[in-house]
Amino acid sequence: MTAVDAAVGTGSALADRILGGWLGRIAGNMLGKPVEQGDVWTRDRIDRYLRAADALPLTDYLPEPAGDDGPPLRPEWRSCVRGRIHGSCRDDDVDYAILGLDLLETHGFGFTTEQVGELWLRRLPYLQTFTAERAAYRNLANGLKPPLTATYDNPYQEWIGALIRADIHGWTSPGEPRRAAALARRDAVLSHTGNGVYGAMWAAALIAAAFTAPTVRAAVDTALTVIPAGSRLARTVRRALALHEAGLSWEDALDTLTDETAGLGWIHTVPNAAVITAGLLYGGGDFTRTIALTVRAGLDTDSNGATAGSVAGVMTGAAAVPAQWKDPLEDTVRSAVFGFDGVHVSELAERTLRLALLDA
């Protein structure tokens, strides 16, 4: 029996967990995508939209708009709402997981930060990058090398981009959060610094820990050990844990966390990590409740839904992900990563499993 087998049970169990992670990331992303505009689609506005459509509690993808009231949804909404989904929409939250898979298949676990950048230039269209990633891409194209790619003319260094790239490092390091965090850091420093890098390390460790942790709380506790205890990110995650442990409602906990992270902006790593943590804790291991609460919280809804879905999917396994989330995906992923558009989710999971077993 390999070390991975000992950690998660059997090879088939690991395969189910990894597929669950991919399905959870894609489903959570699709759930949040129509309302991905955190300065417009606040928690209150999202819930008003759901009440108008008689969709609370939220147990499926977002419904179509019930009328013309309220702010517009994202332009892609018609492919992302219940009853209209036929395969996943294209989105950077999934593109980066695919790109990370290609990175590890091409260069192995010894990849360098420079190789991450080279892969971006070869595989990823510039106009499908945003914020810190676009700044780093521009810097790469202009001949700069890491770590200057992250720091030169880049005001987004602590935003959420590196965190959304971290899943592959968790999926390929099951039960090894420190290894996952180290891999994610090497990826993240191409475009981020400070809490932006810590967010990637935290997310990778959280996903790796989800393979073996007995509870969601245990996975969150483990993930905190890989980032500096005095960082703003660590303090905020601990605060979310304390509010949950004190028995506050999800709504009251989010009100407190929102007040305490005010001014950071809706794409900053720290307030979004607070939303993810709250979604996981109050979701209590239930896949549907976890991604629903995470998306209803607002901010970067598709990114947060994707990360929370990845953790929940790993913990439950693909077989336990409810049909309303996975069946509409039709095992198909749209992607801007060259060579991957139309790839099957099951194929991505099988390739991820092969990598996870390499050092087992």
Domain residue spans in the chain?
Answer: 3-111+213-358
Which phi and psi (to 5°) does residue 265 adopt?
A: 95, 155
Residue pointed to by tokens 């008689």: 54
Residue pointed to by tokens 């991905």: 36
Q: Tell me if 276 sits within 8 A of 304, measured CB to CB.
A: yes
Q: Look at residue 25 and give its three-state secondary structure.
A: helix
Nearest to 211 by CA among 165, 236, 244, 180: 180
Each residue's pLDDT, cut to its tens digit, for the chain (360 residues) gives 455 565 565 689 999 999 999 999 999 999 999 999 999 999 999 999 999 999 999 999 999 998 767 799 999 999 999 999 999 999 999 999 999 999 999 999 999 999 999 999 999 999 999 999 999 999 999 999 999 999 999 999 999 999 999 999 999 999 999 999 999 999 999 999 999 999 999 999 999 999 999 999 999 999 999 999 999 999 999 999 999 999 999 999 999 999 999 999 999 999 999 999 999 999 999 999 999 999 999 999 999 999 999 999 999 999 999 999 999 999 999 999 999 999 999 999 999 999 999 965
**Angle between helix 92-107 and helix 11-32 axes, rounded to 10 deg:** 150
Q: Which pair of structure tokens corresponds to residue 28?
A: 């959570």
Run of H or E residues at 332: strand 332-333
DSSP state of 344: E
Which phi and psi (to 5°) does residue 74 adopt?
A: -60, 150
Q: Look at residue 343 and give its three-state secondary structure.
A: strand
Residue pointed to by tokens 């509409």: 328
Q: Domain 3-111+213-358 - what CATH class?
A: mainly alpha
Is pTM, for the whole model, over 0.95? yes
Residues 6+ apart with CB under 8 A from 263: none
Strands (DSSP E) contained in 151-255 are: none
- Cross-strand partners of 268: 159
Q: Tell me if 15 sits within 8 A of 348, measured CB to CB.
A: no
Residues 6+ apart with CB under 8 A from 264: 270, 271
**Angle between helix 194-210 and helix 232-245 axes, rounded to 10 deg:** 50
Count CB atoms within 10 A of the CB of residue 230.
7
CA 297, CA 100: separation in Å to the nearest integer? 28
Per residue in 254-287, is it b (16+ CB within 10 Å) or e — as a string? bebbbebbeebbbbbbbbbbbbbbbbbbbbebbb
